[in-house]
């Protein structure tokens, strides 16, 4: 049985590491023609790469003119969502985080010539914020609302989002093993996620023809813990 991604063109923004790279590799293995777009993409067998500053709307537009028509757009780019208490709010830093994780999404959606689906990335900070998570939770909530709004505005193009929990990823830095251990002990599944597991959620949303406006939470039970 052939994969439903056979011969389809997938562009992944932020696919140089972590969830984005795992999704790119999974889509490639499912038969797609995959292009990674990021500031410093790493060469991958069977995957095309484009270097672009995703916070620069003109660079994003130029890149998609080069990439041409695609079946699926996946946006996974993002810096770590930092704890930032209101009493010590850094407005410039908050704007920077919103810039890459929200406004750059708008630029990509506007510029890309997509025929089938768009899959964005939010997070469970919107569902279970703790102290210091006001900015991070706001970004995740904004992306969720954007997903649903775009699903209406761009129909019949399908627009969905994946909402991961804590995942073993370079996004958390090289010294995160204690974090993974501490968080994992609090979860029903007793461990944090792996990027390859989250990648399957993106593949599902790309290939599920009746999903739009859907936020797919893959968190090991974090929200219910």
**Model confidence pLDDT, tens digit, residues 38-70:** 998 889 999 999 999 999 999 999 999 999 999
Average pLDDT in the 165-193 region?
A: 91
Is the pLDDT confidence value at 2 over 80? Answer: no
Model pLDDT, residue 45:
96
173: left (phi over 0), alpha (psi -120 to 50) or beta: left
Strands 33-38 and 47-51, how do they pair? parallel
Please state, in angstroms and rounded to a whole number, the distance separating the CA atoms of residues 75 and 64: 13
Residue 1 pLDDT > 70, yes or no? Answer: no
In 7-150, beta strands by DSSP E: 9-13, 33-38, 47-51, 70-75, 114-121
Task: Give 129-178 pLDDT, tens digit per residue.
Answer: 989 999 999 999 999 999 999 999 999 999 999 999 999 998 887 788 99
The CATH code of domain 9-224 reads: 3.40.50.720
Alpha-helical segments (H) within 99-208: 104-111, 134-153, 177-185, 195-207
- Given a cut of 90, whether residue 13 has pLDDT beyond it is yes
- pLDDT digits over 194-209, tens only? 999 999 999 999 999 9
* Residue 3: per-residue pLDDT: 64
pLDDT of residue 79: 81
pTM: 0.95
| Mean pLDDT calculated for residue range 83-87 | 90
């Amino acid at each position: 049985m052939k994969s439903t991604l056979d011969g389809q063109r997938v562009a992944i923004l932020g696919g140089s590491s972590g969830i984005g790279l795992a999704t790119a590799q999974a889509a490639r293995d499912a038969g797609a023609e995959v292009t990674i777009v990021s500031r410093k993409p790493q060469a991958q067998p069977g995957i095309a790469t484009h270097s672009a500053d995703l916070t620069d709307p003109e660079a994003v537009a130029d890149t998609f003119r080069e990439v041409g028509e695609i079946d699926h757009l996946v946006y996974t780019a993002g810096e770590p969502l930092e704890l930032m208490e209101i009493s010590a709010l850094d407005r410039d830093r908050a704007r920077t985080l919103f810039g890459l994780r929200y406004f750059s999404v708008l630029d990509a959606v506007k510029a890309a010539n997509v025929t089938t689906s768009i899959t964005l990335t939010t997070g469970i900070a919107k569902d279970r914020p703790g102290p210091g998570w006001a900015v991070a939770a706001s970004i995740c909530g904004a992306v969720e609302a954007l997903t649903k709004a775009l699903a209406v505005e761009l129909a019949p193009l399908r627009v969905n989002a994946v909402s991961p929990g804590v995942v073993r990823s370079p996004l958390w830095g090289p010294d995160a093993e204690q974090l993974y251990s501490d968080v994992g002990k609090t979860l029903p599944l007793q461990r944090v996620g792996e990027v390859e597991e989250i990648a399957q959620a993106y593949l599902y949303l790309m290939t599920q023809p009746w999903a739009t406006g859907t936020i797919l939470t893959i968190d090991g039970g974090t929200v219910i813990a």
